[in-house]
Amino acid sequence: MMYSFRNDYSEGAHPSILKAMNDENLNQKIGYGMDEICEQARALIRKECDAQQADVHFLVGGTQANLTVIAAALRPYEAVIACESGHINVHETGSIEACGHKVCTAYAKDGKLTPAMIQKIVDFHADEHMVKPKMVYISNATELGTIYYKEELTALHQICKELDLYLFMDGARLGSALTAEGNDLTLADIARLCDVFYIGGTKNGALFGEAVVINHEQIKKEFRYNIKQRGGMLAKGFLLGLQFKTLFENDLFYSLAKQANECAQRMVKVIKDAGFEFYADSPTNQLFPILPNSLADKISEKYAFQVQEKINDETTALRFVTSWACPNHVIDEFINDFKSYTK
């Protein structure tokens, strides 16, 4: 039977989340996220972020979170700076542009923005004949599985303050980033350094849900209007609160992400040991090995994955993604299989 490493949203939710839904199912709640369970989840997140003044809003998905935050923050002629590979630039069907805003991009091999890239873009946009960059969008983990370190995020925070830019972190895979080997950031650091960010539930044990944490007063203002206008106001909003409450009550958020990372890194090790290189150096739950096409074909008989990029006629960069639901025995089997293919 085929096992899919295509993404980290192939399964439903951690059983404790389903159980919580079941337990609360017929208790009447106020709609639209104004219920007590959402309030409890918000309190847990504020505590975990050490950010008592933060506003916390729950949205269903990542594209929705990105477009709602950016549309809420920017005036019409203002633009957002992102990596060329950034999700908002490539994989959201122009949703930011549909809200009226340009995405200004810089190329970064590892998917991470630097202060120099930001400075160059701001310098280029000199007058009113050009858009005005006003926000920096980063992902952590990035599209290439790489993560930002505290020193890097602090530097981004500083240049954003200097240049009067909002710093926004897309945390669709924030669990993976925070539990990756070498990570030195905490949620509290991120809350201190970013004007707004979100904590991904969809890819880390929830059925769906992203928790947007807003620190900047300007973005906080009437944010619920933006949610409703963009179609992101869930009628049965308690479903979102319930999931985040479950994830943050018992560190489930971290343990699930850790499981995904460990599975991925075990795969990385066996591939590295066999002498193959990687398209990007990811310590998280995505891996991008560059493999001979014949080997890729062999693997594809039992495992599903994605093609990242054709490297040359003989080799291809592949993309494997592990999830919180990935059983250890699947990785054991993959390792055995891989060794046998490359023997």
Can you tell me which of 56, 60, 147, 270 binds its own copies, judged by CB under 8 A? 60
Is the Cβ of residue 281 or residue 309 nearer to its own copies in the bound state? 309
Q: Which of residues 167-206 bind its own copies (CB under 8 A)?
A: 202-203
Closest to 147 (Cα-Cα) out of 119, 196, 117, 184 = 184
239 binds its own copies (CB under 8 A): yes
Query: Which of 36, 47, 120, 130 is in the footprint of its own copies by CB under 8 A?
Result: 130
CB of 76 to its own copies, least distance (A): 6
Choose one: 160-168, 226-234, 267-275, 287-295; the region binding its own copies (CB under 8 A).
226-234
Q: What minimum distance in Å lies between the beta carbon of 208 and its own copies?
A: 6
Among 138, 207, 257, 280, binds its own copies (CB under 8 A): 207
Nearer to its own copies, 94 or 292 (CB): 94
Q: What sign does the dihedral 245-246-247-252 (CA atoms) show?
A: positive
Among 53, 119, 158, 229, binds its own copies (CB under 8 A): 229
Residue 28 or 312 with smaller CB distance to its own copies:
28
**Per CB under 8 A, 110 contacts its own copies:** no
Asked whether position 231 contacts its own copies by CB under 8 A, the answer is: yes
User: Could you tell me whether strands 289-292 and 303-304 are parallel, antiparallel, or unpaired per DSSP bridges?
Assistant: unpaired
Per CB under 8 A, contacts with its own copies among 261-280 are none
Of residues 10 through 49, those in contact with its own copies by CB under 8 A are: 10-13, 15, 18, 21-22, 24-31
Task: Tell me: does residue 282 bind its own copies (CB under 8 A).
Answer: no
Residue closer to its own copies, measured from CB, 153 or 165:
165
**Is residue 211 a contact residue for its own copies (CB under 8 A)?**
no
Kindly state whether residue 333 participates in binding its own copies, applying the rule CB under 8 A: no
Within residues 306-325, the interface with its own copies by CB under 8 A covers: 325
Pick the stretch among 50-58, 173-181, 231-239, 293-301 that binds its own copies (CB under 8 A): 231-239
Q: Is 220 in the site for its own copies (CB under 8 A)?
A: no
Give the CA angle between residues 46, 49, 52 to the nearest 5°. Answer: 40
* 163 lines the binding site for its own copies (CB under 8 A): no
**Sole window of 44-52, 56-64, 139-147, 246-254 interacting with its own copies (rule: CB under 8 A):** 56-64
CB of 128 to its own copies, least distance (A): 4
Distance CA 7, CA 129 (A): 41
CB of 64 to its own copies, least distance (A): 3
Q: Which residues contact 184 (CB under 8 A, 6 or more apart)?
A: 149, 150
